[in-house]
Structure 1
Amino acid sequence: MNFKKIEVFGFKSFADRKIIEINDGITGIVGPNGCGKSNVADAVRWVLGEQSAKALRGKSMQDVIFNGTKVRKSMSFAEVSLYFDNKDKLFPTLTFDEVKITRKLFRSGESEYYINDTQCRLRDIQEIIRNTGLGKEGYSIIGQGRVSEIINAKPVDRRAIFEDAAGISTHKKRKKEAQSKLEQTENNLQRIESILQELDRQLEPLERQSADARKYLQLRDELRDLEINEFVYGYEHNAELKAQVQAALDSINAQLENLKAEQEEADKKYSRMTMDRNNTDVYISRLRDELTELAVAAESIKGTGNTLSERMAHLTSNRQEAESRLVAIEDDIDKKDGQLTYHKSQLNMAKEEKAEVQQEHDELDGEYEELLAKLTEGEREMESRNDELLKAMASIADIKENYGKLTAERDTLTEREDELSEEMTDLKAELRQAEESKLELESTVQKLRKQRDRLASSRNEIMFSLREANVKVEKYRSAATDIQSNISGLESRIKLLADYSRDYSNFRDSVKRLMTAAKHNDELASHIEGVVADIIKVPAKYETAMTVALGGSVQNVVTESEEDAKYLIRYLKANGLASVTFLPLTSYKRRDLDSRYSGILRERGCMGEASKLVSFDKKYDSIVSGLLGSTVVFDNMDNAIAAARRYSYGVRIVTLEGEMLATTGAISGGSMNKSAMANVFGHERTLQEYRDNAEKLKKDYEKAVAAYKAAQEEADELQEQLKVFDEDFRNAEVELATATQKLEKAAGKCEELSSSLTAKTEARDGIQRRIQLINNALSSVDTGKDMPERDDEAEKERRAGYARMRERSKQLSSQLTELRVQLTNLENAIATHTEAISRLEGEMASLNEEHAAIRKALSDTEDKIKQTESDIDNAVVSSEDKKRQTEIKEKISRLDEYKTKLDEDIAAILVSKDNLTKSTISANEEKVRQETRMQKIDEDAEEMRVHIAEEYELDYAGAVRFRRADFDHEKAVGEIGKLRRAMSKLGPVSLESIDMYKETQGRHDELAAQRDDMRKAQADIMEIIATLSKEMSERFDREFKKINSNFQTIFSEMFGGGTGRLEVDLENAEDPLEAGIEIYAEPPGKNLRNLSQLSGGEQAFTAICILFAILRLRPMPFCILDEIDAALDESNVDLFARYLKRFSDSTQFIVITHRKPTMEQADMLYGVTMQELGVSDVVSVSLKEAVKHSSSE
């Protein structure tokens, strides 16, 4: 004996503590319906770990707690204990001889579990009963549900019963877990493959970039070696070159002194001869001034006309823009009007369709109500005719013989009629609730589908925005990098230019050394105002012209007085420095443009006096006017020559391109080193421009970084939004699938309830008719009247008519449900179109307001255009001014002829002056070349010094350590160029790519290793699945054959003959492990048939045979049978009870029954009664003891 007793307290109807002792053999539990005897089986099932309230015939787990009666209060907890004899080690993990398993549930929902009164977990209980046959998967508790499961299950579903019996459920669970792991592994493998593909895509450009970076570093090292050696070579050879250039300059200066003396003598002769010509020029100048004033007035009028024309163009442009906007607004209004028309049309159609559907619904509803009334009336007529039916079936004498039997049948039928009526009432309420739930679910599914579609649309929009945001991130990141690179380049140039300006690198050595010394000697600096280049600010446009006009004077040093000049000259001599020209403010004389030549300022192409085109402190006015006062700037050579001739070369002229026309008539010009000359004035300006550009670039950089951060934040935010939408979309999919599944279940439930209600209605109607027949028959015994005959054909026709009406009522009910759903959809569509119409009408109102405003503005513009056209017509030059201009031009023409004659007289003198000028120009050009060469030597050396200092942080002392004995200067110059071109050819190089490549390659290798591990794991899991499948198949085949053999034996024994067998349906299964199980039986005297073709009793008996076959395969220590004999007839019950008795030798049976043959085989009977309404009580009788007691009496 293993199972000793059951103790229940507060469980369902067991309000009082009850103990049921379990002995060997068969223990029977009997009692009338509703007394609570099946609660005993529920109690055992509950203690053994059942977690489903439905399996315990409740709605929630709290339903197992005694809920009280009219005279008893409800209890706060339920408690059940099971006692087992463990001497035979039923529970091998426990050492106790007796094991008590307890479960307690409180109304708060808290559960407690105990083993031998020691609190434990449900898991602990499940562990100790595992493999004992007592768990959910075993057959320790068998109810009518198991019998029905065998009978009603489809062959494929029925397979699960035999899998449980064969003990492969655990294998199947492990296989499912392995398949889940395989799917997860495949997903992870796919994700890693995607990452590896992305890394492969990144590695190719990174490998190329890192190779370029390594090549760049190699070239840079080679270039560094050559440039350092070139710097050392240049530093050591520059002194020799400068000595050669200085010797050449001394020779040229002596030649220029001789030429200057000869030129001055020629100038005196030339001045006397040009006096007369100059007077003529003065008169012509006055005439030209007047002519210019007239021309200026005419130009002013012309300018007014141009202004008005520009205004007209602006107004016309505004009008065109306004007209374009009007067209756009009108197009938009037309589009929205079309949309409005569409929505109104759809709204009207929806309303019309709703009215039609509503009308159809009302008509069908009326027909349905009318049909129900006819059915009710017809059923009354049938009942009336059924009164006659009983009279026609038997005579009054026959009825008298069966009077008692009819009375008993009527009582039974009446009781069944009441039960059916109650069940029908419950079914109708449940059907109404189910139909309402179905309608709600249909609405919910539609809403969820729309919500899912909206989420999908929003998710796609976010993904598109995220792609755009990522493009912007890369764009701004690249822009920030480019700007940072430009800033670095500008800062290098700023440092170089600042050093040039600070060190006077473009100046003669003596000036440079003097000014450099003054920076460190306050006494020396107190005698210096600055060099000419420092006190004059020249606009960029005039830098070349001013450099030519000033020549070497830009390097002259300005002092406060002659005494300062003397002090500085003594300093030069004391330090062995070459001569420097000083310009004392107290003695230097200003030179203004001779009034005779003021007219030149009005000549074509004249930019103005040189001294007035520059800016300077007023204290330096005498210096600037002395140097530039008699110099005029022209735009080009042609205009300069024409003006010089007109004014007999009385004024020195320079052009913007650097040509110079001296008062001697000499003209100099040609290609010049603009960087060497213009930079005298342009360094500071260029430096400021670089600084301004650098500041602007820094602001642009900050904007680019801010834009990058904003774009990155936007991308991050969109990424987060995408995650949220992905989650919401998945949730929406799950909700939609869940709701759809619920809707399908609700629809199935409605259909099932409707069919059940129809079946119960027909059953009740049949019972009512039978009761009425019996009542009539019993009444006829008293009256003795004969019954009339009936027309069988007419009766059949009436019944067929009623059947057609019932079928039509079902169709009408289904159509009405569909129409209600359609009405709900139409109401939603009407609301949507109404909302769209309201929104579009508001937008069109705004557009119409804007249209009216633009119309008004367009009208104002038209008025302004007309006024401007009138103003343009009034801007015309007068005829008197035109006449005066003609007269002046004629006088100037006559004077020009006279001046030409004077020019011919001067020409002879100009020839000799020209020869002197050519010689002077040639000498000056050579001087400039030598000075430029000298400056170039210094500049190149300084540039190399700055480059080596900035690039390699070395000076000469540091660089000389890298000098190579085999250095070849000529070869190095070419090699440096090649290296720079090679580096330039590489383009932008990312040095970080070397580390990025290593890091990415490392990550790639790591992921590749993970991928290989996952592939191995994938193969291992697939091998496990294959092994499990093989084991399951082999074990199922082995155990199934045993069950089939047991079934054949038990079937023949229980049926007293015949045959039965089980077959695996391999023909209709793709997978042998999923093949269904077919049951065939051949009761004595019948042919072999499928289980579904047997009678109800035969089906139930066959199913019980299968359960016994399974129990024989897997004997249980005890087994509870809950009314599995209810469907058997008397003879089969007796066979079942006798066979059960045979099994009781090896298994304890607790049989819940109300069948007499089963009770007779019980060794102990417990009667469950309900003497107190709602409270179960237990009484026991030992049949063996009763028999002994009877025998002794």
Structure 2
Amino acid sequence: MYLKSLELHGFKSFPDKTTLEFGKGLTAIVGPNGSGKSNIGDAVRWVLGEQSSKMLRGGKMEDVIFGGTALRKSVSFATVTLNISNEDRSLGIDSDTVSVMRRLWRNGESEYLINGNQVRLKDVVELFMDTGLGRDGYYIIGQGRVADIVGSKSNERREIFEEAAGISKFRYKKEESERRLASAEDNILRLKDILSELEGRVEPLRIQSEKAKKYLVLAGERRDIEIAVWMYRLDEIKKSSNELENSLLVSNGEYELLTNEIEEYEAQAEELTLKRRQCASAAEDYRRRITALTEENATAAADIAVYKNNIRHYTEQVSEVNEQKNRLFEAESETAGRISLKKEEIARIEKDKLEVSEEVSGLEAELIRLNDESDRFSQELNGITSKLNLLYVRRSELRFSEESAQIAIRDAEDAAVKAKPLIEETRRRLAQTSEEIRRVRDGIADIQKTVEEHGNKLSGYNMLYSKKSAHLKEATEEYNNAGLNIRSLNSRRQMLEELENSMEGFSGSVKSVIAAGRSGRLRGVRGTVAGIITVDQKYSLAIETALGGGLQNIVVSDEDCAKAGIRFLKETNGGRATFLPLTSVKGNTLYEKGLDMAEGYVALASELVEADEEYTGIINSLLGRIVVAENIDLATSIAKKYGYKFRIITLDGQVINAGGSFTGGSASRTAGVLSRKNEIAQIIYKVTRLESKNAILKERLSSISAETEKLGFDIEAEKDIISNAEADKIRFEGEAKRLELVDEQLADRLTELSKAENESAEKIAKAREDSQGCLAELESIGAQISSLESKMSEFNLKSGEHKSIREEKSNQISDMRLRLVELEKDLQASKLSLETLLGGIESAKETAAGYDKKISELESEIEAQKLNISEREREVANSKAVIESLNLRIKEELASSLEHEKKENELRQLEKQKTERKEQISAELSRLNERLENLHKDSDAIVSQLWESYNLTVAQACEGAIKLDDISDATKRLNELKSKIRSLGSVNTEAIDEYKEVSERYEFMSGQLGDVTKSKAELEKLIADLTKSMREIFTESFNKINDNFKSIFVELFGGGRAELKLTDPENVLESGIEINVAPPGKVIKNLSLLSGGEQSFVAIAIYFAILKLRPSPFCILDEIEAALDDVNVTRYAQYLRNFTDTTQFILITHRRGTMEEADVLYGVTMQEKGVSKLLKMDVSQVSFTENN
């Protein structure tokens, strides 16, 4: 297996798709600082699943996406693809090449692909586990990793050795198994809790089940007798109903006869009433006709007066029209004279209009001649203007050239002046650079001294840090143990609350009613008895025993709510339940003289529970006559003393029943719902105390952690100082080389300045010659421009005179045209006035004819009015004769009406007598119907009870009803059965099925507990086997790495000794690893006393020792040889050749010795700022320098 190629697109400084192909052996990647060569190593680390943006040298993961430059836009995603040769199938995938891709979008979404198939991060991690390419592997080694292995704590180094030993996969499996084991332990705890709950329910349910079975036997007998009694009563009701129905038939017959007689009298009376009303109506009609005729006579008299008035008015109008006709003849003579004058005026205006038109035509001809002459002057003036414009342009060009020459002279003279101080400045800077080179060399010596001083301080901090870390570990363990207890208690509390919320232990019927109440389907549901009371833990077992099934009784607001709950259970087939209405349940408390002073007496059970005041009646009903005693012996004494008259419960749940029977035995600690509620409260109390304790531990832990962290910061600060000092040293050395380069550049600059001084003198001479030629040509052009400007002034003068004449003629023409318009308006007005006068003559003639017609019409109207008067006088005489006839007929109708009214009164008296008798019969019918209705209600009540109690119709009840010998004996037996059923108390018929269900569940949970316990044992064995294998493999691999390290150290250092050592050999899987080395001729007690180059060489030797034991398919080395001198760089590079048969190396470097040893060379440049480019180079044609 080896790395074939790497593809980057949009990753960090590689916005464009970039591909690196790798062969076996050594591949070097070179480039200047900041060119992006280390981004290649980051890309490999990222595609293999790195999740820390800090490890990728960024602030957040989105920083790996190319963010854009001044010339390029940012991209929306980054993609890296790793193509690995898998011909040996070492990756467990049946493919010659395995392609691993990771893609990240800027919105945070990401994906992993293996050979094009989308996978999880976990799949990528597991693919490379124990290959050396895992999360803690050694396939990428940078300068920081070198410092880590030398400067880290001993227990932090082991991650690299575990990956090398190949136990990462074992550790992963072990951690997975430990998680599964913890899950199994949680399941065992939950199963035990559930079984504990079930144990407490089995025995009470068995008792309730037996009680329910006894109830069902008694209820069955009660059912048979009750149905028979009801059927007997229905039969009696039927006999009484028949008798009442016969009486109703007789009374109804008489009632109907009276009704018919009354209706006949009513009809006759109504007929007489109708006749009487008809007579009155006829008389009224006659009166209305008389009134109408009288009103018509009055109207006729008024009309005659109007007609006479009209005749007078029309006569006056005839006289008025004759006067208007005479006035019209006088006006017609006056209008004829005005028409003659208007015709003379029109002739005069037409003559003036003709004279003005002839004068306008003459002036327009003169104006056309003057315009033609003006156009000729304009053409000559345009020719002169064109010539002048050409001369003006040439004059401007010459002036610009002359000014440019003067500027060139000034610039050249200025350059010559400025060159002298620049030459002096350059000479001064040359001397200053030499001084700076000497100062930098002194600074390098000071830095070396700083590194040694802070190395000693770092060793002291490391020792103190180890002590603080031990204290921190102890405090952390104590804090974690407390947290574990809290989690365990919270887990128990969660389980109990789940049981409480799901109403575990309650029957299905109770659960369904409570659920209906919560959803609003049933109103007035307050909850169960268990839900409304609170009991101290020491009394909970006694109260649970005292209440028994009563804990499941449902408290409701009133009787209607109870009935609604029963109907709900019947409709839903939800079973049976006991309801306790607050309005009907009123219990009393037991009182026996001297009872409270008896030895062992604790209290009445009702006094040991707490509940809202409104529930007092229910509490007293259930617990008010039950005594709680300390133990069974003292309880027995109390029972004997009071003759076993009441029930006694002991604190441990033993019972002495009224009558002398004893009930008892063992009970689970968490047997009931009250114990469950109390346990939840206790857990909350314990958790609160533990959390308070944990808060104190947390403060202590925070204090120790802060101190440890401060030491860590101090250590990092010292490391930073040392690192910065070494960086400063490298920077100072670079600065010295830069200053030497500056010195060479200043010498070249001095030569260039001297050359520029000579060139300036030549430029001054040529510019002066050009300036003189321009001045001569400017003088000639000035004379030509003066001559042409003089001619143009003469033409302008003539053109002005012509313009004045043209304007004068044009104004005259405008005045004449205005005069013509005014004359035309006067002419039109005169013609219109003439037409009006002529029209007036015709109108007068038409008006005179109209006056004659009006006179004729008025005379005809006067004759018509006279005829109307004669007609109306004749109508009045006829109306008076009709009125006299109508008055006689009114008297006849009134006499007939009085006769009809007398007969009607006689009939109404007979009708009244019959109606009184009918009302007596009606009252009798009401009484009979009421008695019959009551019998029907009794019958319906029995039918309803049959259906509600037993879901039977009357027909079904008849079929199955037993025969009763004596109704009184049956009633007596029925009362006995009801008494026995009441003595049973509350009965839970659901307990029969629930007992079966709980028993089966208990058996199932017991089996589950056995399975989980077995699984736990198997996991513990697997963890033990994995631990043993890991210990053996790690010990063997560590010893081999140690042997390799010893030999490689000697080879690299040319002598000396080295050793890797476990800090705790008895606990190899948790032990830290110490590095003991001694280079030739030195005695080293602490690695920090080694020089930077020696520390790097020690770390390199360790990595080589690991590679020798467990070669990584490929390894990226990022400038790990930066701190080595040239000799050791060459030794390091050549030593790499020993591993190229098993490991492929990608070297990110800028050291010549490493580059010379490479088989393939890639160059990374940044021609465009912020964008990295890749160039593959032929090693044989590259000339190497130290800073290539």
TM-score, normalised via structure 1 length: 0.40
TM-score, normalised via structure 2 length: 0.40
Choose 1 or 2 for highest CA Rg. Answer: 2
